[in-house]
Amino acid sequence: MRTYQATAQDRDRNWYVVDAEGKTLGRLATQIADVIRGKRKPTYTPHVDVGDFVIVVNAEKIAVTGEKREKKRYWRHSGYPGGIRFRTLGDLLEQRPEDVIRRAVKGMLPRNRLARQQLRKLKVYAGPDHPHQAQKPETLELQT
């Protein structure tokens, strides 16, 4: 009995649409990360990109629990002394709601070249419309 190893030639990729309206941010991000990595497929291989494309719509309507809108902070640093800045989750949801979901999913992927390649398969849009109708995406129902 030989162990199956997926290769780039025999993978088949699907496109899925996820509606983020009313979904909790962290739970949504974990399930999206699993689809992007391919962990829901029987052909999952950790070192090969066998995952699917995911389109997230209505990113501006995600739900967060507790006081995270005011207390959760996203930090960045310019590299210079005194160059640390932050934004709250509420500010980021108003200005760039796509970035919130992208950062949450990125945090749930491993830190390597393959994960950066897999993150390119995530397409996030603030509103209900997306330009990927030609790929004929299927609706993906995620557990909440």
- Whether 121 is in a domain gets the answer yes
**Domain assignment of residue 72, yes or no:** no
Is 82 among the domain residues?
Answer: no
Chain segment 58-90, per-residue pLDDT in tens: 999 999 999 999 999 999 999 999 999 999 999
Residue 91 lies in a domain: no
The whole model's pTM is what?
A: 0.92
Say what the pLDDT of residue 144 is.
65
Tokens 């962290």 found at: 26
Please report the pLDDT score of residue 8 as a whole number. 85
Burial group, residue 64, by CB count within 10 angstroms (0-12, 13-18, 19+): middle
Nearest of 144, 116, 143, 124 to residue 17 by alpha carbon = 124
Q: Total structural domains in the chain?
A: 1
- pLDDT tens digits for range 13-63: 999 999 999 999 999 999 999 999 999 999 999 999 999 999 999 999 999
For residue 10, being part of any structural domain is answered with: no
Question: How high is the pLDDT of residue 4?
Answer: 86
Domain-located, residue 90: no
Asked if residue 6 is part of any domain, the answer here is no
Q: Which domain holds residue 135?
A: 15-62+96-139
CATH assignment of the domain containing 124: 3.90.1180.10
